[in-house]
Structure 1
Amino acid sequence: MPDLPEPTPRALLRQMLDAAVAAAQPALCLPAQLPAPPRGRTIVIGAGKASAAMARALEDHWPAPLQGLVVTRYGYQVPCQRIEIAQAAHPVPDAAGLAATQRILQSVQGLTADDLVLALISGGGSSLLVAPCAGLTLSDKQNINQALLASGASIAEMNCMRRHLSAVKGGRLGAACAPAQLVTLLISDVPGDAPADIASGPTVADASTCADALAIAQRYQIDLPAAAHAWLASGAGETLKPNDVRLARSSVRMVATPQMALQAAAQVAQAAGFTPYILGDSLEGEAREVAKVHAGMVRQVLRHGQPFQTPCVLLSGGETTVTLKGAGRGGRNVEFLLALGLALADLPGVYALAADTDGVDGMEDIAGAVLTPDSLQRAWAQGLNPRSFLDRNDAHSFFQALGDSVVTGPTLTNVNDFRAILIP
């Protein structure tokens, strides 16, 4: 049997991304985390980009009756027989998400200690599971969410604000399930895998406070409606704290994490003859600044063989941020990649891929892009100024013009950002 040809750098990078996404598929990861069926009813609730795929995996492996409702992003639905799938907007909530959330809250009313609630929670749930606190409207929540997305706040800071202005997040949905047993099955899309930050923690306790949320609003100059400011200042928006009796029968099981995805990608790199190095699964910071750090490491590897020998692949995950200053078509992964290209300045032989494992980078149905050693050269040849694209946060337009966008379609999972830099 003839030897198969070596994959091209582009193909190898895509194989690593595909392996990362495959490792986080609910059908693979969820069954081993399921509890035993209860004496009473099993109610399924959930929200997130992976929630429908999680519901399908649950249905396929649950040996007893069940019923329920989960809400996912438009286009991320998966056909189920016993669990209803609702669809709503992400990253800015809409009326469909509000209606689905109200129905989910209703579905856990009147449960007994013999019943079991399975909560299927994944990234994206913060906007999909929406119930404004007293005095706020959906429009208020939309405006606050858009301001947070543009502010440069970290995901932990954004979710702290969301928890304290919600009637469902910060453990409130979990409290509504009492006295039933509650098992939360999580697919993590946040640095550090903190349960309170995944979909803003609707079923888990939260140690942050209303004062923390107010400080974040002030730090990023978020213009809060008067009702929201009063809600936080009075302490009325306080979330459920650890040891709250209403969560006494609640437990959390981690189904998939960014580290699992990076390890799967590392195996692909190793098989292709590149030594993989995982720099971290929870890197944060401004996308363009994180890119400069990565570029400095690449130069050190090529010039001095430190801290790694070539050929190698640098892998990382986490969630960078973008402080919007322009009106371009951007996303944190393509912003990272364009900034990386500028920092490397066409360094020979280096390829890179950056993408969101859910298939959506920013507001676009584009997962990310590929950077090649001649990306900047090809751009200039087309009359494109790479720096101007970065300045106006327009990296999707840049990479689309080069034909280097990465489009996966709905991946039905979400374990945060994926970055791979191939150094020959």
Structure 2
Amino acid sequence: MTDRDILIALFETALAAALPEGKFAGRLPEPPKGRTIVIGAGKASARMARAFEEEWGRPCEGLIVTRYGHGCETRHIEIVEAAHPVPDQAGLDAARRILELARSAGPDDLVVCLMSGGASALLTLPAEGLTLEDKQALNRALLKSGAPIGVMNKVRKSVSAIKGGRLAAAIAPARAVTYLISDVPGDDPGAIGSGPTIPEASDPEAVLGLLKAWKVDIDPKMEAVLRANRVAGDAIPGQDVHMIATPLMALEAAAAKARALGIAPLILGDAIEGEAREAGIVFAGIATSAARHGLPAGAPCVLLSGGETTVTVRGKGRGGRSVEFLLSLAVALKSIAGVSAISCDTDGVDGTEDNAGAWFDAAILAEAEAKGLNAEAFLANNDGYSFFSALDRLVTTGPTLTNVNDFRAILVR
């Protein structure tokens, strides 16, 4: 197999492990006397709804909101699409309807909540006193700041009428079960989609401190709403939570595939955060050590990692965190023989582009130079997409309908 064949095979194996099909078996609740209401949000939520229907095998009703282009056909559950990462009116309308469905549940009903990465932007319902435009502006500022996903979700909870457990409060006293596909480092249920069904006490002063630390300015109106939008965060009886897919599950599946190919896998972590270009430099150092000294693993080996890096936008180029990481890695490696790599977002969309990510082998910089492409200049302009596109190294899957965040593999042969 070529380097590309191996890297793509590892990525596809990781994706397969993150799909919701078959993940509800053994985790289904007892059927209710009343209705089964299915609600949810996220990039994987439509596929989760279809998989749940298959396993449930009984009548149900409900509403799911997913990203544009991430819907799929279901028998009973309505699927609507909305904007991500900056929310739009469709997401606002869907969030209102989902909250109404939650409030309509009675003591004999069962509410099934399907949440995955992207739910925070898709399930947008501003706290009283704020408008959709206010939330859109805040989301843009957070995205531009380079703040990690944990920080963004804490801020989003603080100005929401539905996140941070507020949806769970609306469901009570009905029984509820939440199924999660994790897209966050550490797999904290309260951080996935900003935790609509995970009660969490609000802390306005801490959130204001985070905004200051990441230089995100808010006006006095939003600050007042943030301070007033408090919630106790008390646990709600009769509400269960199941994690059905995580970044580590995907990495472990890729590791098993590597072993089957005769390549020693080393999982460096499933919760890597920080600036994508800085992570590229660090991982280049590890890969160089593996190639030259056989440490921390000897060739043939593959260094696997997941998590969610960020990009502080300074240039005017195209591309998300996966190609930013990969271009930084390529520049730092300086074409060491026998080292190739892939970096992709498991939802199939790297940033706002049409690719999942990209890959390269040791010939990448020589090919770039032959075409007059300066890799360092593209990196400085946050233009990884254009760089890898010009060299025919993009990985394009289309929406995968799952999301366990970044997948990275560095192959040393």
TM above 0.5, yes or no, is yes
Q: Distance in 2 between matches of 1:240 and 1:195?
A: 17
Alignment check: 8 A CA contact 1:334 1:396 kept: yes
**Shift in Å at residue 64 of structure 1?**
2.6
**Which of 241, 258, 270 is 1:269 aligned to?**
258
The residue that corresponds to 1:3 in the other structure is none
The 3-state SS of whatever aligns with 2:228 is coil
Give the counterpart of 2:128 among 134, 148, 151. 134
Aligned pair 1:237/2:229, yes or no? Answer: yes
**Does 1:409 find its partner at 2:401?**
no
Q: Which amino acid aligns with 1:355?
A: C
> Displacement of 1:380 after TM fit?
1.3
Please, which moves more after superposition, 202-211 or 188-197? 202-211
Find the residue that maps to 1:108 and give its secondary structure. helix
* Whole-Å separation in 2 of the counterparts to 1:365 and 1:181: 40
**Are 2:85 and 1:96 equivalent residues in the alignment?**
no
Per the TM alignment, residue 208 of structure 1 is displaced from its structure 2 partner at its CA by 5.4
Separation (CA, whole Å) in 2 of partners of 1:36 and 1:249 = 12
Unpaired segments ≥5 residues, structure 2: none
| Partner residue of 1:86 out of 60, 76, 80 | 80
CA distance in 2 between partners of 1:32 and 1:412 (Å)? 22
Matches for 1:375-386 after TM superposition, within 5 Å: 375-386=364-375
- Residues 144-293 of structure 1 correspond to what in structure 2 (within 5 A)? 144-207=138-201, 209-232=203-226, 235-241=227-233, 243-244=234-235, 247-293=236-282
Corresponding position of 2:330: 341
- Indicate the residue corresponding to 2:29 in structure 1: 35
- Contact map agreement 2:308 2:405 (CA 8 A) in 1: yes
Counterpart among 98, 108, 112 of residue 114 in structure 1: 108
Q: CA deviation at 1:240?
A: 4.5
Q: Against the structure 1 CA distance between its residues 32 and 21, is the aligned structure 2 distance closer, same or farther, given a 3 Å change threshold?
A: farther
> Counterparts of 1:208 and 1:397 in 2: how far apart (Å)?
42
Shift of 1:207: 4.7
Could you tell me how far apart the structure 1 residues matched to 2:64 and 2:5 are?
Answer: 35
Structure 1 residue 48: Cα displacement: 0.4
Please name the residue that 2:63 is paired with: 69
Give the aligned partner of residue 47 of structure 2: 53
Show the counterpart of 1:21. Answer: 15
Give the aligned partner of residue 304 of structure 1: 293
Describe the shift of the 1:44–1:228 C-alpha distance in structure 2 as closer, same or farther (beyond 3 A): same
Q: Any idea what the Cα deviations from partners look like across 1:304-333, whole Å, max 9, x if unmatched?
A: 211212110000000011111112112111
Q: Which residue of 2 aligns with 1:367?
A: 356
Indicate conservation of the 8 Å contact 1:33/1:255, yes or no. Answer: no
Task: Indicate the SS of the match to 2:21.
Answer: helix
Distance (Å, rounded) in 2 between the aligned partners of 1:298 and 1:134:
51
TM-score w.r.t. length of structure 1: 0.95
Determine the C-alpha separation between the residues in 2 that align with 1:93 and 1:185: 23
The CA RMSD over aligned residues, in Å, is: 1.1
In 1, the alpha carbon distance for the partners of 2:229 and 2:386 equals: 41
Q: What one-letter code is carried by the residue in structure 2 that aligns with 1:43?
A: I
* Cα deviation code 1:331-370 (max 9, x no counterpart): 1111000000011001111110000000011111210000
Determine the C-alpha separation between the residues in 1 that align with 2:257 and 2:69: 29
- Kindly provide the amino acid, as one letter, of the partner of residue 121 in structure 2: S
- 2:332 and 2:202 map into 1 onto residues whose CA distance is 37
Contact (CA 8 Å) 1:55, 1:83: kept in 2 or not?
Answer: yes
- TM-score, normalised to structure 2's length? 0.98
| Residues in 1 aligned to 2:247 and 2:231: alpha-carbon distance in whole angstroms | 27
Please give the alpha-carbon distance, in whole angstroms, between the structure 2 residues aligned to 1:278 and 1:37: 40
Q: How many residues align?
A: 413
Partners of 2:232 and 2:51 in 1: how far apart? 30
Which residue does the alignment assign to 1:4?
none
Deviations 1:283-313 (A, max 9, x none): 1111111111111111111222112121100
Instruction: Say if 1:170 and 1:240, in contact at 8 Å, map to a contact too.
Output: no
In structure 2, how many angstroms separate the alpha carbons of the residues matched to 1:281 and 1:24? 13
Distance 1:114 1:262, change over 3 A: same
